[in-house]
Structure 1
Amino acid sequence: MRTRTTAALIAATLLLTLTACGEDDTAAKPSAPPSLTAEERASVLAAAGLPDTTPEQESAFVAALDKIDKDIAHGKADKAASRGRSQCQTIHDWPKDEAKQIDLATRRFTSPTHPEGRTPAVAKKINQAAHHHLCPNF
């Protein structure tokens, strides 16, 4: 999964870089890679099965995790939101396989006190929170 996501992002960046070339190629100057518009970013992320989340959605997701068990995010909101987006990719890639979604959530949401992951019951709640707050359209 990560390989496909990374490849899609690299391909989009390269495509934008190549289309930006040609203006004045006589003076080769190093430049920063072109920025993606919001629509382009959303399109690239959607193609990779990742949601384009807002800070508000991520905060709501972390709050939902804290309601389940504060140890899930264990004070690392950014890490929890990242794992939630990865869970959305799982939901996107296996939309009809809830057992697979839950299985991956059991292993994805580890913490210092749960290095082996979560129980299926907790993972199901995490999966529902990710779907509800981060990727309701998947």
Structure 2
Amino acid sequence: MRIKTTGLLATATLALVLTACGTSDTPPVTPADKAGAGAATAAPTTLSPAAKAAAREAAGLPPEPDAATAATFIAALDAIDKDIVHGKQEKAISRGLDTCSTYKRYPDDTDKQIDQTNRRWSSPAHPDGHGLATAKQIRAIAHKHLCPTF
């Protein structure tokens, strides 16, 4: 009797597994299908320049630099060491803006600003940063060119 029960249980389990794993000619239902075939997708929200500026300010970031300011900033970094930017100008601008954010967050803690700058400004040749003396120079350049009002 035990063999018959085990055999029946195994057969039922196999049938259930095969049914669950079966293929179907109908494609899976997507969220768009559930919303309806003619449902419109939401357009991405765009912020006005004033709203972007307010959001950046709330996040402790200065405005994006114009092309001339960005070029001057990059040139100043390259004058210290070309490996600071290492050919990644957009990344350098982003890191500079982040440095400004640190400058604003810790206005009375120069050591913290320099430490954070050193950590943020790494490169393939300097994975742990360029050192505190270089970080101090980078911090000063970011402040001068990207966030002089901070």
Which of the residues 82, 88, 105 maps onto 1:93? 105
Which of the residues 43, 48, 53 maps onto 2:54? 43
Q: What is the CA deviation profile of residues 75-105 of structure 1, one whole-angstrom value per residue up to 9, with x for unaligned ones?
A: 1101111111111110111111111100011
Which consecutive segments of 4 or more residues in structure 1 shift more than 3 A?
none
User: What's the TM-score once normalised by structure 2's chain length?
Assistant: 0.70
* Consecutive unaligned residues in structure 2, runs of 5 or more: 1-37
Q: What is the CA deviation profile of residues 46-100 of structure 1, one whole-angstrom value per residue up to 9, with x for unaligned ones?
A: 0000111223222221111101111100111011111111111101111111111
- Number of residue pairs the alignment of both structures matches: 112
Which of the residues 57, 60, 68 maps onto 2:72? 60
Q: What is the CA deviation profile of residues 14-47 of structure 1, one whole-angstrom value per residue up to 9, with x for unaligned ones?
A: xxxxxxxxxxxxx962232221111110100000
User: What's the TM-score once normalised by structure 1's chain length?
Assistant: 0.76
Of structures 1 and 2, the one scoring higher in RCO (CA 8 A, sep 6+) is 1
* Consecutive unaligned residues in structure 1, runs of 5 or more: 1-26
CA contact (8 A) 1:105 1:118 kept: no
Q: Please, what is the CA RMSD of the aligned residues?
A: 1.4
Q: In the aligned structure 1, how far is the partner of 2:91 from the partner of 2:45?
A: 27
Q: In the aligned structure 2, how far is the partner of 1:87 from the partner of 1:121?
A: 15
